[in-house]
C-alpha cells in the first residue's frame, strides 16, 4: 500500500466513525470545493472590491510614498 493509499484509508476509517452530522457536512463542503485557488467572496467583500475599482477609475488614490509618510507619523 502506498503512502497516499494509507492516508486515504485512514481518512475513510475516521469518517466512518463520525456520528456528527454537522462535522460530516463540514467535511463534505470542504471536499466539494473543486479548487484550492478558488475563494468564495462574500457580498461585502465584492462590494469593497468594486469600491476600490471605482476609486481607481475616478482617480481617488494616494501614492504609496504618501501612505508611508502617514504611517510613520501615526506610529511616530
- Residues 29-68: tens digit of each pLDDT: 888 876 666 678 899 999 999 999 999 999 999 999 999 9
Q: Are residues 2 and 23 in the same domain?
A: yes
Whether 27 shows a pLDDT value over 70: the answer reads: yes
pLDDT at residue 34 in the model: 65
Q: Are residues 45 and 31 in the same domain?
A: no
CA distance 73 to 76: 5
| Domain total in the chain | 2
Average pLDDT value for residue range 10-24: 93
pLDDT at residue 30 in the model: 85
Q: Are residues 23 and 45 in the same domain?
A: no
Q: Are residues 76 and 45 in the same domain?
A: yes
Amino acid at each position: 500500500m502506498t503512502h497516499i493509499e494509507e492516508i486515504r484509508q485512514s481518512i475513510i476509517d475516521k469518517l466512518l466513525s463520525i456520528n456528527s452530522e454537522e462535522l460530516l457536512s463540514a467535511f463534505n463542503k470542504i471536499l466539494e470545493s473543486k479548487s484550492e485557488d478558488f475563494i468564495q467572496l462574500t457580498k461585502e467583500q465584492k462590494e469593497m472590491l468594486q469600491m476600490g475599482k471605482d476609486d481607481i477609475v475616478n482617480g481617488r488614490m494616494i501614492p504609496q510614498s504618501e501612505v508611508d509618510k502617514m504611517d510613520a507619523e501615526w506610529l511616530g
